Amino acid sequence: MNREEIIASTEVSDFEVINRILLGEKNFYTVIVRRYNQRLYRIGMAILNDDVELEDVMQVAYINAYENLGKFGFKASFATWLTRIFINECLLRLKKRGKIIAMNEDNMEFEIQHQHKGETQTPVTKVLNAELKIILDGAIRKLPEIYRTVFVMREIENMNVAETRDCLAISEVNVKVRLNRAKAMLRDMLATYYQKEDILHFHLSRCDKMVKNVMAKI
């Protein structure tokens, strides 16, 4: 196992990796990009539902995080800090589209009644070969963004309530309400077990490309 593989292992903390970066070893940022590509991709698809635009947003978020590493200060979880930067970039893109959805309960029932039908399939769907995985992927995409985002963060990325709350800047009660409503909406569409590892998967070749693009710009 080479040095990068050792650093990228789950036994090495973000704290150690970031300290090396701050000491001038810029190449260690590849560890951060590889470590968080899957999380950002899944959350970003939940918000933007646009596979092509999402890669650009991920790059912007990684570069912004790198440029502000000195301000991080380890006062909170790095994962939460990075995810929050990324979510803000996603919301800016939605705002530019004119499709920003306010993060509050007032819009929930409206979004349920007016969710978009027949959304365009992205390349992700083509990767999900099993019929059930395709059905689940499609069902998740049909959820309103405020429910879809919480479902992906809690059920697919295994983020706890507190971290989800901090990333989305909503209350713990709202996190639980949105998750319960997402599950209720999916329950009518799905009647069997899903394999979350295969949902909204960020392929290794795309991970390599993301690392290359980010490192070329920092």
Mean pLDDT across the stretch 10-32? 89
Tell me the percentage of the chain whose pLDDT exceeds 70.
73
Residue 65 pLDDT greater than 90, yes or no: yes
What is this structure's pTM? 0.66
Q: Which range (133-137, 152-156, 188-192) has the least confidence?
A: 188-192
pLDDT-based confidence at residue 37 (cuts at 50, 70, 90): very high
Does residue 43 contact residue 87 with C-beta atoms inside 8 Å?
yes
pLDDT-based confidence at residue 165 (cuts at 50, 70, 90): very high
Cα–Cα dist 108/147, whole Å: 8
- Give the model's pLDDT for residue 161: 95
Residue 205 pLDDT greater than 90, yes or no: no
- Give the model's pLDDT for residue 120: 46
One-letter amino acid identity for 73? G
Cα–Cα dist 81/64, whole Å: 11
pLDDT-based confidence at residue 193 (cuts at 50, 70, 90): very low
Nearest CA-CA partner of 101 in 170, 189, 39, 22: 170
Q: Which range (44-48, 134-138, 175-179) has the least confidence?
A: 134-138
Cα–Cα dist 115/147, whole Å: 11
Among the four given CATH numbers 1.20.140.160, 1.20.140.10, 2.40.40.20, 3.30.429.10, the one describing domain 3-217? 1.20.140.160
Please list, in sequence order, all residues whose beta carbon lies within 8 angstroms of the beta carbon of residue 165, skipping any fewer than 6 positions away: 171, 172, 174, 175
Residue labelled with tokens 């990228």: 8
Residue 171 pLDDT greater than 60, yes or no: yes
Mean pLDDT across the stretch 5-27? 81
pLDDT-based confidence at residue 134 (cuts at 50, 70, 90): confident
Residue with the larger pLDDT of the pair 122 and 33? 33
Residue labelled with tokens 């800090």: 81
Domain ranges of the chain: 3-217
Mean pLDDT across the stretch 192-215? 72
pLDDT-based confidence at residue 139 (cuts at 50, 70, 90): confident
Mean pLDDT across the stretch 101-116? 42
Helices (H), the chain: 3-8, 14-22, 29-48, 51-67, 69-72, 78-97, 108-113, 123-127, 131-142, 145-151, 161-168, 172-187, 204-217
